[in-house]
């Protein structure tokens, strides 16, 4: 279905400076009069994929928006370990695809470059769409695409930005099981060496991709760490010990939901 690469893509540190760690300090957000979290501290480890789970409505997406500088009624700081400004180093894939309806799939992928007044690399955009099995859809507008296709275009747009820090809000949630499995494997390779925070409701996805797994729960919400399985992502969900890891993570999620 998806193209298979003759060799794994170069890691971010092979062709770029190492990705920085991200330090979130004293994060506090109030939404609709309710304090979602307060005095929340978190370090996203450099060059690693961190998966974030938790009950619906606890503030996972809000935490991503806070890091991206998009949260309202917020306080706290976000800094990078290399001392650089956050915005130019960050790519953000929202929960909804946010494709512009009057642009083709290819032009949606290069939208960021166009808005910055840069020359868009349409050949690279088309190559990304081809990797995502969208070679025949590059000229189609969003209303001609299925929900899963639109989400793949949004993923291509995020990857096109080629940023060292990547925030992803349920990037595979609209995909069927087979497509989701294939894209998880591709994303694990594409994101290698980047500092990633990936929000998911799927514990198996977290076990497959997360080099670090965090739970957000409570009112106001607090973070708790869960030990990830051994080995680099993407992990084999049929591997020895994965069943036990899934059972333990499910128990933690159930406890987190009960604590709300």
pLDDT at 51 (0 to 100) = 98
Q: Which residues contact 18 (CB under 8 A, 6 or more apart)?
A: 12, 46, 47, 164, 193
- Give the right CATH number for 22-258 from 3.40.50.720, 3.90.950.10, 3.40.1160.10, 3.40.50.300: 3.40.50.300
pLDDT at 33 (0 to 100) = 85
pLDDT in tens, 95-112: 899 999 999 999 999 999
pLDDT at 5 (0 to 100) = 47
pLDDT at 241 (0 to 100) = 87
Domain ranges in the chain are 22-258
pLDDT at 259 (0 to 100) = 66
- Written as tens digits, the pLDDT of the chain (260 aa) is 665 444 557 788 888 889 999 999 999 999 888 899 999 999 999 999 999 999 998 999 999 999 999 999 999 999 999 999 999 999 999 989 999 999 999 999 999 999 999 999 999 999 999 999 999 999 999 999 999 999 999 999 999 999 999 999 999 988 899 999 999 999 999 999 999 999 999 999 999 999 999 999 998 999 999 999 999 999 998 888 899 999 999 998 888 777 66
Rounded to 10 deg, the angle between the 177-190 and 147-160 helix axes is: 0
* CA–centroid distance for 5 within its chain: 22
What SS3 class is residue 55?
A: coil
pLDDT at 45 (0 to 100) = 97
Number of alpha carbons in the 13 Å side-chain half-sphere of residue 213:
26
pLDDT at 8 (0 to 100) = 59
- Residue 187 CA to residue 175 CA, distance in Å, equals 14
- Residue 69 CA to residue 57 CA, distance in Å, equals 19
- Residue 114 CA to residue 116 CA, distance in Å, equals 5
């Amino acid at each position: 279905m998806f193209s298979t690469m003759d060799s794994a893509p170069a890691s971010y540190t092979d062709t770029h400076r190492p990705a920085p760690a991200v330090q979130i300090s004293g994060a506090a957000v109030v939404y609709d009069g309710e304090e979602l979290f307060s005095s929340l501290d978190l370090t996203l480890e450099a060059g690693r994929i961190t998966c974030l789970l938790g009950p619906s409505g606890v503030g996972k997406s809000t935490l991503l928006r806070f890091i991206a500088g998009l949260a309202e009624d917020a306080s706290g700081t976000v800094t990078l370990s290399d001392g650089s400004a956050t915005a130019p180093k960050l790519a953000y894939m929202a929960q909804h695809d946010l494709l512009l309806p009057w642009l083709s799939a290819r032009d949606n992928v290069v939208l960021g470059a166009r808005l910055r007044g840069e020359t868009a690399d349409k050949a690279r955009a088309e190559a990304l769409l081809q990797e995502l099995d969208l070679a025949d859809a590059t000229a189609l507008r969003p209303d001609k695409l299925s929900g899963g296709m639109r989400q793949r275009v949004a993923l291509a747009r995020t990857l096109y930005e080629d940023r060292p820090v990547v925030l992803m809000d349920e990037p595979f949630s609209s995909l069927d099981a087979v497509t989701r499995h294939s894209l998880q494997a591709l994303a694990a390779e594409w994101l290698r060496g980047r500092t990633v925070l990936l929000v998911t409701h799927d514990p198996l996805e977290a076990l497959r991709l997360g080099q670090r797994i965090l739970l957000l729960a409570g009112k106001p919400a607090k973070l708790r760490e869960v030990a990830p399985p051994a080995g680099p992502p993407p992990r084999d969900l049929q591997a020895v010990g994965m069943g036990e890891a899934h059972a333990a993570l499910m128990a933690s999620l159930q406890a987190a939901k009960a604590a709300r």
